[in-house]
C-alpha cells in the first residue's frame, strides 16, 4: 500500500484501470501532457500515449458528445470537465442523450462513460469555480452520481464507475484533493456504487453527509462527544444515485434524530430528498424535526467562502438543536 492524497488516488485509479482495460481512455481540457489543472491525469499521456489520454478543445458539450459516441462504439471514455461550474453547456448531452440512451434504444445501446469533475469550495475560486450542482444530476433518471470523501474511496469508486455499463458523474470535492493522506491499495479494487460508509458510530443522532462535508461532520460529532457525552453516527452517502435507502432509514430508526449536511444551497438541495424519505418511511421513529445544514441560497461568494460553507460549528448547532428538542 501507499499513502496517497485524494487527487493522487484518482490518478492511480485511472492508471490502474487503463493498464487493465485498453478500451478506457481519457479526454478533456488540458488532461494530456499538462496533467490537468489539479494534476489528476499527470503522466498518463506519457505512459499510455496521445491516443488514450488527449486534450480537447474548450467545448464541454463537445467533450461529452464525443464521449457518448465513443461509449456507444465499444470504448469506456473518462471525460474530464475541468470544473463542475463549466458542465452546464453539456447539460443537454448528459441529461437528454447519455442518461436516456439505454431507454430510448430499448437496450440496444448503453453509454459506459464516466464524467470526472472537481466541485465545491475550498480553493477560494469564487462563483465560477466553487459551485455544487449535484442535485441537478441526481434528479436525472439513468445517471449515477458518485462523490468520494477519502483517497481509498476515490480510487475504488472511480474504478467501479468506469466499469459500470451506464453513465456516471464522478464528482470530486476539490477541498479534499490534498487535505490528507491515507493508505490506498495498489492494483485493482472497487467500492460498491450503492452503499453508504459509516464514519463514526453512535445512537443519539445521525448525520448524513458527503464529499468535503464528511470531515466537517466528523469534527462536529467529536465536539458533541466531548461537550455532552453524546454519540453521533456520521454516515457518508458516497453515491447520491443510486442511494442506499435501506441503510439511511435503518440509521434513523436506530438514532431517532437526524441532520443532513451539504455545501450546495439549501433550497431544493439534496438534503430535501433525504428529509422527505425519512418523513415518508420512518416518521414514527423520529423524535425531532430533521435539520438541514447547507450553503446559503445565494451565488457562491468571492470573499466569504468560510462563512458560506458549513463548518463544524454550524453542524454542532444543528445536532444540539435536535438533541434538545
Q: At 293, which helix (H) or strand (E)?
A: strand 291-295
Cell of 40: 489528476
How far out from the chain centre does Cα 36 lie? Answer: 19
User: What secondary structure letter does DSSP report for 165?
Assistant: S
Backbone phi and psi for residue 127, each to the nearest 5 degrees, phi listed first:
-70, -20
**Which residues lie closer than 8 Å to 21 by C-beta, 6 or more apart?**
76, 162
Distance CA 273, CA 130 (A): 22
Q: Long-range contacts made by residues 43-52, C-beta under 8 angstroms, separation at least 24?
A: 43/11, 44/11, 44/14, 44/15, 44/18, 47/15, 48/18, 51/25, 52/18, 52/22, 52/24, 52/25, 52/26
**Which residues lie closer than 8 Å to 317 by C-beta, 6 or more apart?**
none
| Residue count (the chain) | 325
129 counts as catalytic: yes
Please report the beta strands in 101-196, taking only residues with DSSP state E, as ranges in sequence order.
114-119, 144-146, 168-173, 182-184
Set 76, 116, 129, 233: catalytic member: 129
Q: Three-state DSSP class for 21?
A: coil
User: What secondary structure letter does DSSP report for 153?
Assistant: H
As annotated, the active-site residues are 129
Amino acid at each position: 500500500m501507499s499513502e496517497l492524497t485524494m487527487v493522487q488516488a484518482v490518478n492511480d485509479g485511472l492508471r490502474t484501470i487503463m493498464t487493465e482495460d485498453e478500451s478506457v481512455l481519457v479526454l478533456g481540457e488540458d488532461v494530456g501532457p499538462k496533467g490537468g489543472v489539479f494534476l489528476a491525469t499527470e503522466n498518463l499521456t506519457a505512459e499510455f500515449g496521445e491516443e488514450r489520454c488527449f486534450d480537447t478543445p474548450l467545448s464541454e458539450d463537445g467533450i461529452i458528445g464525443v464521449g457518448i459516441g465513443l461509449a456507444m462504439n465499444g470504448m469506456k471514455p473518462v471525460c474530464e470537465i475541468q470544473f463542475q461550474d463549466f458542465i452546464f453547456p453539456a447539460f443537454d448531452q448528459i441529461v437528454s442523450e447519455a442518461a436516456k440512451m439505454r431507454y430510448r434504444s430499448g437496450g440496444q445501446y448503453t453509454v459506459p462513460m464516466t464524467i470526472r469533475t472537481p466541485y465545491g469550495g475550498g480553493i477560494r475560486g469564487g462563483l465560477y469555480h466553487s459551485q455544487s450542482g449535484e442535485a441537478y444530476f441526481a434528479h436525472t433518471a439513468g445517471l449515477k452520481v458518485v462523490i468520494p470523501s477519502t483517497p481509498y474511496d476515490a480510487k475504488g469508486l472511480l474504478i467501479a464507475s468506469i466499469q459500470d455499463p451506464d453513465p456516471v458523474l464522478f464528482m470530486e470535492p476539490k477541498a479534499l484533493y490534498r487535505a490528507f493522506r491515507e493508505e490506498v491499495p495498489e492494483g485493482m479494487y472497487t467500492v460498491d456504487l450503492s452503499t453508504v460508509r459509516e464514519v463514526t458510530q453512535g445512537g443519539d443522532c445521525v448525520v448524513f453527509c458527503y464529499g468535503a462535508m464528511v470531515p466537517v461532520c466528523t469534527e462536529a460529532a467529536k465536539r458533541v462527544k466531548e461537550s455532552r457525552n453524546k454519540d453521533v453516527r456520521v454516515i457518508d452517502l458516497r453515491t447520491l444515485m443510486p442511494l442506499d435507502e435501506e441503510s439511511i432509514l435503518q440509521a434513523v430508526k436506530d438514532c431517532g434524530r437526524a441532520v443532513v449536511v451539504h455545501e450546495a444551497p439549501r433550497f431544493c438541495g439534496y438534503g430535501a430528498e433525504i428529509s422527505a424519505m425519512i418523513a415518508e418511511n420512518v416518521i414514527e421513529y423520529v423524535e425531532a424535526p430533521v435539520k438541514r445544514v447547507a450553503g446559503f441560497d445565494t451565488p457562491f461568494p468571492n470573499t466569504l467562502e468560510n462563512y458560506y460553507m458549513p463548518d463544524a460549528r454550524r453542524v454542532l448547532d444543528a445536532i444540539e438543536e435536535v438533541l434538545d428538542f
